[in-house]
Amino acid sequence: MLVKVVQSDINLGDKKVNLRKAIKLIKKSRADLFLFPEVFTTGMDLEHVKEHAESLNGETIKKLKEHSRKKIIAGSLMEEYRGRIYNTLVLLEDKQLRGFYRKIHLFQKENEYFTAGDMVEVVETKHGRMGLSICYDLRFPELYRKQTDEGAGVLMVCANFPRKRIEHWRTLLKARAIENQAYVVGCNRTGSDGINEYNGKSMVIDPWGEVLAEAGQEEQTLEVEVDPGEVERIRRDFPVLEDRKLGVRETL
């Protein structure tokens, strides 16, 4: 499976420009899977979330579906559902919305604008089962262990992770890969939204914890071949997950 990580700058609040830019890239690439940053069509334009939010039957999803024939497209959007607004990572494949994940862990001020999701999501695709997560989620390893227990071999993280905490991003991505023996595909934005500066450092990491590719600080795409069979091999040859001791309290 050829994975394309799209580390892009985002024009704050300009949905048409950002979506057009994404679709242009999808159309000219032979990749099987595209991962875009968190809220890649709007950026963190929090003061206008009600204007930007759409349903999962809205125009943005419809346009992305048109370009998802024989492809997987993933990235988060501002979603409106029953009067509430969520930061939602969508996954489209073969012109269908295969699954979506509403961000569970909201970071500080986000709580004023978004409703937290409450469901861990693993999506079945033709390239295997994939776990979905967004930015701040990365700090909560139990989410990824749950996805692994549900059969995920690829863990996807889309983000707006700021420059001042970028080493946390790099370290946590590698940790999630090593502890779950899974591929981790992390897509961060670059540029500025007037509040935070972003410097990318998107990464693809294999189930052994080796960094297969890492982006720099500017707009960039990564193309990496990912072999889902490698997950099975590593978990079989080094069966760490089988040695967990659940529910055991240590005595000091």
Active site residues: 38, 103, 135
Q: What share of the chain is helix, strand, coil (3-state, %, to 5)?
A: 30, 30, 35
**Two tokens at 181?**
């023996």
Task: Please compute Rg for the chain using Cα positions.
Answer: 17
Distant-in-sequence, close-in-space partners of 122: CB < 8 Å, separation ≥ 6: 129, 130, 131, 132, 147, 150, 151, 152
Measured CA distances, 53 to 42, 64, 81, 132 (Å): 10, 16, 9, 20
CB atoms inside a 10 Å sphere around CB 161: 29
Judge whether 2 and 213 are in contact, CB under 8 Å.
no
What distances in angstroms separate CA 154 from CA 1, 49, 110, 251, one per listed residue?
11, 30, 27, 36
